[in-house]
Amino acid sequence: MAAILRARFAERSITPADDVIDYLVRRLDRSAEAASRAVERLDALHRPVTRALARLALDGEAATDED
């Protein structure tokens, strides 16, 4: 899963810290689709990718899924 996330971030020229990758691996569904959605969501925020931003993006996705 970490390799998929790194590849998806690299496709978008984003270099997140290792703690971001670890955070996402522990919280995402184990699928390439989930990894792609998370990276797309983080990229769309147009901010440096930090663990705090990843948490916000995942919380926002959960709220969207519940609607």
Taking CA atoms, 63 is separated from 11, 27, 39, in Å, by: 27, 15, 17
- Which positions of the chain have pLDDT values less than 50? 63, 65-67
Query: Could you give the CA distance from residue 4 to residue 31 in angstroms, rounded to a whole number?
Result: 9
Q: What is the pTM (predicted TM-score) of this model?
A: 0.85
- As a whole number of angstroms, the distance between CA 18 and CA 40 comes to 18
Alpha carbon 56 to chain centroid, angstroms: 10
**Domain residue extents for the chain:** 2-66
pLDDT of residue 67: 44
The pLDDT value given to residue 17: 86
